Amino acid sequence: MEFNIAIVKGDGIGPEVVSSAMEILDLIGEKFNHKFNYREVLAGGSAYDKYGEPLPAETIDVCKNSDAVILGAVGGNQWDDLPRDKRPERAILGLRKELGLFANLRPGMLFKALEDACPLKTEIVGEGFDILVVRELTGGIYFGESGIKETENGPTAYDIEAYSEMEIKRIAKIGFEMAMKRDKHLTSVDKSNVLESSRLWRRVVNEMSGNYPEVELNHMYVDNAAMQVIKNPKQFDVILTSNLFGDILSDEISMITGSIGMLPSASLAASGAGLYEPIHGSAPDIAGKGIANPIATILSVAMMLKFSFNLQEEADTIEQAIDKVLKAGHRTSDIIINNEKAIRTTEMTELIKKEIDRR
């Protein structure tokens, strides 16, 4: 099969980790007889430097006309003082909006080989955990009406959390479908004891559960969920939640997996290209040193193969190769636990390629 992929390497370590992921993808193409065509475009600080815009029209156009988008990361200290609409991060928000990416999928899994990097006790994590957070990405308080009004108590700021039935339905559908592909357990997280928007959320999710009788659904208040992911992360399979709660919970879950350099993400639209990126930023402190961990980006590519191209076996091959390399004790500096020797980005990439080649 043949696929067209937009490549947005971005800033800092973005180009280093995306180049590694492209090497892996090319090898998968060779082994499984697929052709991946790339079109490289700029976004973030590098786009600002060249065009004076963090998200040029050409980038939007190429991304919209591709089968999927792979993104590294954007941002860096040299662009921190730019006006808001010129800042590199505007590129991410702009792409989400332009591509209609309403569903953010963030797996939080603990690789067995990295369990010592998990800050939780072994008796809590046992054989590891594997949670998928399905977060609504284009609604809720981050996109609601906001402002400041004068009151008798001085200026009063407000941000409105609003969700329509349509928005809840389409994200809940993704949550149920993901649960069907995994262990068939969905935890919907809300704050329906306090918030009207959460009460609608819960009602809609309950109504939809009738379409997925095989999925075991439970509801959890967000404050309890924040405790439960620390107390007993193994109880979760898929967590479905709003933009705000998902932002916080998925970061909390990333902390208990041991390294930010290991975690991928996918953002999906109702139709058209999905966007795949590591959860980490551009890591300016290590950019250009050749020591970044490429695994989060390589796992993002595996998600792309699974969710955008329906190539499950190819995705499994990548995940298994990474597992073997980690089990053999190879580590980039961010995941060193027991004085192992730190290897470079290129060495980690080569080792993963060797494992893929071996199958």
Is 282 one of the binding residues for ligand NAD (CB under 6 A)? yes
Is-catalytic flag, 142?
A: yes
Count of residues in contact with ligand NAD, rule CB under 6 A: 22
Is 334 one of the binding residues for ligand NAD (CB under 6 A)? yes
DSSP of 279-333: SS---TTTTTTT----HHHHHHHHHHHHHTT--HHHHHHHHHHHHHHHHTT-B-G
Exposure string over 215-250, b if 16+ CB within 10 A, otherwise e: bebebbbbeebbebbeeebeebbbbbbbbbbbbebb
Dihedral sign, Cα of residue 270, residue 274, residue 278, residue 284: negative
- Contact between 232 and 124 under an 8 Å Cβ cutoff? The reply is yes
Is-catalytic flag, 247?
A: yes
The residue from 9, 247, 324, 353 that is catalytic is 247
Pairing between strand 154-159 and 101-109? unpaired
Q: 197 vs 300, which CB is nearer to ligand NAD?
A: 300
Is 284 one of the binding residues for ligand NAD (CB under 6 A)? yes
Residue 47 three-state SS: helix
Closest contact distance (angstroms) between CB of 18 and ligand NAD is 11
Is-catalytic flag, 223?
A: yes
For residue 16, the cross-strand partners are none
Q: Which amino acid is at 206?
A: N
Is-catalytic flag, 221?
A: no
Element (H, E) at 7: strand 2-10
Is 43 one of the binding residues for ligand NAD (CB under 6 A)? no
The residue from 50, 223, 327, 357 that is catalytic is 223
Closest contact distance (angstroms) between CB of 290 and ligand NAD is 11
Query: Which span sits near ligand NAD by CB under 6 A: 138-146, 154-162, 245-253, 290-298?
Result: 290-298
Site string for ligand NAD, 223-262 (x = CB under 6 A): -------------------------------------xx-
Q: 219 vs 331, which CB is nearer to ligand NAD?
A: 331
Is-catalytic flag, 61?
A: no
Q: Distance between CA 315 and CA 120 in Å, rounded?
A: 29
Query: Which span sits near ligand NAD by CB under 6 A: 174-182, 243-251, 280-288, 323-331?
Result: 280-288
Is 175 one of the binding residues for ligand NAD (CB under 6 A)? no
Residues that bind ligand NAD (CB under 6 A): 13, 17, 73-76, 89, 92, 260-261, 277, 280-286, 292-293, 296, 334
Catalytic (active-site) positions: 142, 191, 223, 247, 251
